Structure 1
Amino acid sequence: MPTDDFTSMEHAFDERIVRLLHQQLTGEVLTTEEQQELDTWKNTSLSNTALYEKINDEAAVQQMLQTWHQIERNREQNKIRFLAMLQQLQPSSISKRPLLRFLNNQVFRYAAAVVLLIGVVTFFWFNQHKPLEPGNKVVSVDKNMPIAPGRDGAILTLADGSTMVLDSTGNGVVADQNGTSVVLQNGQLAYNTGNGASGVAVYNTVSTPKGRQFKLILPDGTKVWLNAASVIRYPTSFEGNERNISLQGEAYFEVARNAKTPFKVTTGEATTIEVLGTSFNINAYTNENTIRTTLLDGAVRINAYHQTATLKPGQQAAVKPSKGQLVVLNAVNTDQVMAWKNGLFNFDDASLDEVMRQLERWYDIEVVYEKGIPTAHFGGEINKQNTLQDVLHILEGSKVDFQLEGRKLIVKP
C-alpha cells in the first residue's frame, strides 16, 4: 500500500468503506462524518479514485457485470464438464448459478452496489487464505500512473514476411494468401478458402505481444484462443493427410472434427499433440520448465522424448524438457487451467515466481527480484480487468513488498 497515513489502516478500511459505498450507491444519505471519510479514502490514491468513478459510471458498471457474467458462465460450464467426466454427480444434481441481468436504468444503483460487492468478496476470499501481516505494504505503487490490463490484439505475419497489427486494422479482407482470403471481423481472424490455391503450402503466423490476447479460426474451422506472449504458425489451407501447426506460448483449441485428417500441434523441440476433434489447452512458454497439455473434451495423444500417452478428459500431460520426461496427471483443476481464457487469474497454490510471470505477460512489465525469489504461495482468483496496481494491493498479504518504477516491478523480500 502507499507509504502515507493511510498505510497504518492496512486493509481493515475495506469493510467500512465498502459499507459506505454501498449506502451511497443505494441512495442512503451519509452523515457529514461518513461523507468526509469516504472523500478521504477516494482522494488517497489514484486507484481509489478510479474505482470510485468506475462504480458511479453506468456504462462501466454494465461492462463489468457483463464481464462477470461471462466469467461465471465459463467457470460453471467447465465445472459441469469436469464433474460429468468424473461421474461424481448426476446431471440433475448440478445447479447453475443465476446470472445478474440489467433490467433498466432504474436499477443502476443496485447493480453498481453488486459490482462493488463482487470485487470485495474476491478480495476477502483471497485474504482469508493469506492474512495480512503487520508492516506489509506495496511500496510506491500508487505514485505511478495506473497500468491498464491487457486487451485483444495481435500481429499477423504473412507468407512474404510483411506484418499487420490486427488491433488497429478495420473489419474486412486484410490479405489474400494463395487463393485464401484472410478476413478480420470484430477482432477475430478467419480464413475463407477459395478455388485458386496453387497447392503450394503457404504459412501465416499470428503472434500476441505481452499485454495482448487474440482469437482466430484456422482454415479448417478450428477455433484458437491465443494467450499473451504466444505465437502460432499454420498453413493458409490444409492439404494432405494431416493438419500440422506449431505453437509457442499458450492457447486453447476447439478442433474441427475430421477423422481422416488428424490435427497435430508441435511445441518445443520434441513434443507433438495429436487430436481428431477435441477441446484442450496447451501451456508451452519458453520461460516455464514444463509443457502442459490439459484435455477438456475428446482425446489427445502426446508424443515426447520417445514416450507416448493418451489423455482422457480432466487429465494433463506434463512434459519436462530438462529431464526428457512425460508424466500424466489425473483430476486436474480445469478451472485453474482455463482461468486465463475466462478473464481470471487463478493463483491457487501458485508460487510467487509463477504469479509474477503471469503478471509480466498480461501487463507488459518487467519483474526484478531484489534479493532472489521470496518463498510465498497464493490462493484465490482475481479479475484480469483490474489494473496492475489493484492486483498488487490484493497480493500484498504475501509477506512480500513491491516497488513499481514505470513498467519495472521490483520484488522485495
Structure 2
Amino acid sequence: MQSLLGISGIIEKYIRTGLDEEEQVKLNAWLGEDEANAALFRQLTDEHVMKQHLDELDAIDIAKGWNAFQERKTGQETNIRDIRKARWWKYAAAILLPLVIASGMLFFNKEKQDNDYEYTPTALRYHNDVEPGGNKAVLILSNGEKVILDGDSLASLGERDGARLQNDSARLVYEKGFSQPGEVVFNTLTTPVGGTYSVVLSDGTRIWLNAMSSIRYPTHFTGSERTVFLKGEAYFEVARNVHQRFIVETAEDVRIEVLGTHFNVMAYNNEKEIVTTLLEGQVQLKYGSSSPTYNLRPGFHAVFNKQQQLMDIARVDVDGAVAWKNNLFLFNNDNLEDIMKQLERWYDITVEYKLKTKPKSHFTGGMRRMENISKVLEMLELTGGAHFEIEGRRIIVTSP
C-alpha cells in the first residue's frame, strides 16, 4: 500500500513533468490496488480542474507582492537581486500541490463513501477481454516431425536427432556433451503468437524466445563456429568457448558474433529495424559482405535500419530491451503503434485504428505481461492519448 502523501507526490510529478520508470511502476501498482484508485486518478488529473489551479498560481505577481512587502517593512522598493531571492515563494507554493492533491484524495474517498460513488469496473467497460500469452512452443525435428511443448510438463523426450532432450517446465534442454556420431542435423524451436519458451543448447548456451519467433540450431556443434539462425526476438546467454565463436544470423544478412556474453536481438519481419542490445561481454556485428565491423559494448544497442541499410549505435536502457524475458511490459517514451505491435504478438489480437489524427502521445511506464489486455489498455487510456474498444480479438483504437 502506498502512503497517501507518497502517492500524492507521484501524481503531482506525473502532472508536472512525467515519471521515471520506477515511479510509473509505483503509480501503476497503486492504481491496481483498487478500482476506485483509477477513478480518483482520473478526477485528480482532470485537465479543466488542474488548469484552474495552475492559472491561480500563475496569476500571482511575485515581484509586485515582494515590493509591497518590502515597502511596508522598510519604506524602500527592492531591487532585481531581491526579486530573484523572492522567487522561492513560487517554489514554496508549488511544493504545496502534493498536499492539495492529498487533501483532494481524502475528500474524494470520503465523498465516495458518503454518496455511494459508483465506479464502472474494467469488466463492464470492456465487454470482452483477452487473456495473456504463456509458455508454449513447437519443436521441429530434422525430418519435419513436430513436437508440441508447454510449460506445465516435465518429461524426457528421449534421443532425437542424435541428441538427448528433456522438456523441463517451459525449457527445452539438450544434454550437454551427449552426441551421436554422424552428420550435423538441425532442429527448430518456434513460438506462436502469445507464446514464449527457452532452450538450452548442447554447449550450455541458453536462449529465451519471445512470441512469434523461431531459432534454428544444430543438435551439437562442430568446427570453429556455433551458428544459429533467428527470426523474431530472443535473449541469449552464450556459454563461453574461446575456440568456437557463437554466431547469430538474422534476416537482412545481419550477423552477430560473440565468444560468451548476454544480449538481446529483435529481428521481426514486420519491424523496420533489427535491434541488438548488449548486457554483458562484447559482440561484433556486420551486415552484408562489404559492411564494416561494428563493436558493441555493454549498455549500448545497435539499430540496423532495413530500408536505409544503415547501422547506428547508441547508449540505451537495457532493462526495457529485455523486459519481455522477465514477463514485463516496459515502455520508455514509446509511440502507440510500437506498443500495439507488442500487444498483437503477445495477446494474439489484431488492431484497427479509427483515429481522427495520428496520435502524438508517447508512453512511459510498466506492467506485468501476465495481466489481461484490458488492464494494459486502461493504463494507456490514463495518458489521454487514445481510447480502446475490445471486440473479440480485435482492438479498436479511437481518439479520446
TM-score normalised by structure 2 residue count = 0.68
Task: Say whether 1:13 aligns with 2:40.
Answer: yes
Task: Say whether 1:344 aligns with 2:371.
Answer: no
Structure 2 match to 1:320? 305
Relative to structure 1, is the Cα distance of residues 323 and 15 closer, same or farther in structure 2, using a 3 angstrom cutoff?
Answer: closer
Structure 2 match to 1:362? 346
Q: Is this contact kept in 1: 2:151–2:171, CA < 8 A?
A: no
Amino acid at match of 1:394: M
Which aligned pairs between 1:374-389 and structure 2 lie closer than 5 A?
A: 374-389=359-374
Q: CA deviation at 1:147?
A: 1.2
Give distance in 1, aligned partners of 2:385 and 2:306. 33
Q: CA deviation at 1:403?
A: 1.9
Task: Say whether 1:398 aligns with 2:381.
Answer: no
Which aligned pairs between 1:128-167 and structure 2 lie closer than 5 A?
A: 142-144=126-128, 146-167=129-150
Relative to structure 1, is the Cα distance of residues 352 and 258 closer, same or farther in structure 2, using a 3 angstrom cutoff?
Answer: same
Structure 2 residue corresponding to 1:299, chosen from 276, 282, 290: 282
Q: CA deviation at 1:358?
A: 0.7
Deviations 1:72-122 (A, max 9, x none): xxxxxxxxxxxxxxxxxxxxxxxxxxxxxxxxxxxxxxxxxxxxxxxxxxx
Relative to structure 1, is the Cα distance of residues 312 and 194 closer, same or farther in structure 2, using a 3 angstrom cutoff?
Answer: closer
Task: Say whether 1:218 aligns with 2:201.
Answer: yes
Relative to structure 1, is the Cα distance of residues 222 and 194 closer, same or farther in structure 2, using a 3 angstrom cutoff?
Answer: closer
Q: Is this contact kept in 2: 1:364–1:407, CA < 8 A?
A: yes
Bigger Rg, structure 1 or 2? 2
Give distance in 2, aligned partners of 1:196 and 1:282. 28
Give distance in 2, aligned partners of 1:373 and 1:205. 39
Relative to structure 1, is the Cα distance of residues 169 and 236 closer, same or farther in structure 2, using a 3 angstrom cutoff?
Answer: farther
Relative to structure 1, is the Cα distance of residues 279 and 194 closer, same or farther in structure 2, using a 3 angstrom cutoff?
Answer: closer
Structure 1 match to 2:83? none
- Partner of 2:376: helix, strand, or coil? helix
Number of aligned residue pairs: 296
- Partner of 1:302: helix, strand, or coil? strand
Q: Is this contact kept in 2: 1:295–1:311, CA < 8 A?
A: yes
Structure 1 residue corresponding to 2:316, chosen from 332, 355, 358: 332
Structure 2 match to 1:97? none
Which aligned pairs between 1:177-192 and structure 2 lie closer than 5 A?
A: 177-192=160-175
Relative to structure 1, is the Cα distance of residues 36 and 247 closer, same or farther in structure 2, using a 3 angstrom cutoff?
Answer: farther
Task: Say whether 1:412 aligns with 2:398.
Answer: yes
Task: Say whether 1:270 aligns with 2:253.
Answer: yes
Amino acid at match of 1:297: E
Relative to structure 1, is the Cα distance of residues 374 and 212 closer, same or farther in structure 2, using a 3 angstrom cutoff?
Answer: same
Amino acid at match of 1:354: D
Relative to structure 1, is the Cα distance of residues 230 and 36 closer, same or farther in structure 2, using a 3 angstrom cutoff?
Answer: farther
Deviations 1:195-231 (A, max 9, x none): 6623311111111111111111011100111111111
Deviations 1:157-188 (A, max 9, x none): 11111112201773222252232111101221
- Partner of 1:382: helix, strand, or coil? strand
Q: Is this contact kept in 2: 1:402–1:410, CA < 8 A?
A: yes
Q: CA deviation at 1:370?
A: 2.4
- Partner of 1:380: helix, strand, or coil? strand
Q: Is this contact kept in 2: 1:180–1:194, CA < 8 A?
A: no
Q: CA deviation at 1:253?
A: 0.5
- Partner of 2:293: helix, strand, or coil? strand
| Deviates further, 395-404 or 307-316 | 395-404
Structure 1 match to 2:240? 257
Relative to structure 1, is the Cα distance of residues 392 and 195 closer, same or farther in structure 2, using a 3 angstrom cutoff?
Answer: closer
Q: Which runs of 5 or more residues in structure 1 are unaligned?
A: 1-8, 17-29, 49-140
Structure 1 match to 2:230? 247
Amino acid at match of 2:239: A
- Partner of 1:395: helix, strand, or coil? helix
Q: Is this contact kept in 1: 2:224–2:243, CA < 8 A?
A: yes
- Partner of 1:378: helix, strand, or coil? strand
Q: Is this contact kept in 1: 2:178–2:202, CA < 8 A?
A: no
Give distance in 2, aligned partners of 1:229 and 1:259. 32
Q: CA deviation at 1:37?
A: 4.1
Structure 2 match to 1:120? none
Q: CA deviation at 1:15?
A: 8.9
Q: CA deviation at 1:273?
A: 0.3
- Partner of 2:326: helix, strand, or coil? coil
CA root-mean-square deviation: 2.7
Task: Say whether 1:34 aligns with 2:61.
Answer: no
Q: Is this contact kept in 2: 1:180–1:193, CA < 8 A?
A: no
Structure 2 match to 1:45? 121
Deviations 1:268-310 (A, max 9, x none): 1310000000000111111111101111111100011323101
Which aligned pairs between 1:31-180 and structure 2 lie closer than 5 A?
A: 34=113, 37=116, 40-41=118-119, 44-45=120-121, 47=123, 142-144=126-128, 146-167=129-150, 170-180=153-163
TM-score normalised by structure 1 residue count = 0.66
- Partner of 1:237: helix, strand, or coil? coil
Structure 2 match to 1:119? none
- Partner of 1:281: helix, strand, or coil? strand
Relative to structure 1, is the Cα distance of residues 36 and 156 closer, same or farther in structure 2, using a 3 angstrom cutoff?
Answer: farther
Task: Say whether 1:283 aligns with 2:283.
Answer: no
Give distance in 2, aligned partners of 1:36 and 1:398. 27
Instruction: State the identity %.
Output: 39
Give distance in 2, aligned partners of 1:334 and 1:217. 23
- Partner of 1:269: helix, strand, or coil? helix
Relative to structure 1, is the Cα distance of residues 200 and 169 closer, same or farther in structure 2, using a 3 angstrom cutoff?
Answer: farther
